[in-house]
Amino acid sequence: MIDLQDRNHCPTVEEIGEYVRNPVFTQFCSEIRSTYKCTEKIEYSGCSWEKGWNVKFKKAGKSLCTLYPREGYFTVLFVAGKKEKPMIEEILPDCAEELQTVYHQTQEGNGQRWLMIDLEDKGRLYDDLLKLIRIRRNS
């Protein structure tokens, strides 16, 4: 088992997937890769709030999302910016309740909301996150 706090060993996506032990992690990564023709970047975060290795997806210099591995699930950081806000708020009433709750409980700063969404299964929340990423990519 890998140690996500060990800054001296950069894990592979496969190793992170083994740590998470949830096939949804691998499916989500694969879906982002194939949809946006991008590759992930594994980075070590030294910030006290979320220390350890994470997986970032960017396309054309724009951050799509960051994945924080957990045991049994993962957390998706999605930044809802000023440009995306009207489009997100238009579809939000049709999104999973968990997503609506996270969105409304996340404070806005500089016109952005940094949404931290726990993902464990491939259901409505999974699909809604992909919709948000599509909005971000196309804005």
Cα 63 from chain centre: 10
Mean pLDDT within 47-56: 86
DSSP alpha helix (H) spans, 1-139: 13-20, 23-36, 85-91, 97-105, 124-138
pLDDT tens, 95-104? Answer: 999 999 999 9
Q: What is the pLDDT of residues 103-127, one digit of tens each?
A: 999 999 999 999 999 999 999 999 9
Instruction: Give the pLDDT score at 2.
Output: 85
**pLDDT score of 49 more than 80:** no
Per the prediction, the chain carries an average pLDDT of 95
**Secondary structure letter of residue 94 according to DSSP:** G
Task: Provide CB contacts within 8 A for 3, sequence distance 6+.
Answer: 9
pLDDT above 80: residue 1? no
CA distance 57 to 22: 19
Whether 62 and 79 have beta carbons less than 8 Å apart is answered as: no
Residue type, position 120, single letter: E
Residue 48 has pLDDT above 80, yes or no: no
Whole-angstrom CA distances from 13 to 4, 21, 119 are: 12, 12, 17
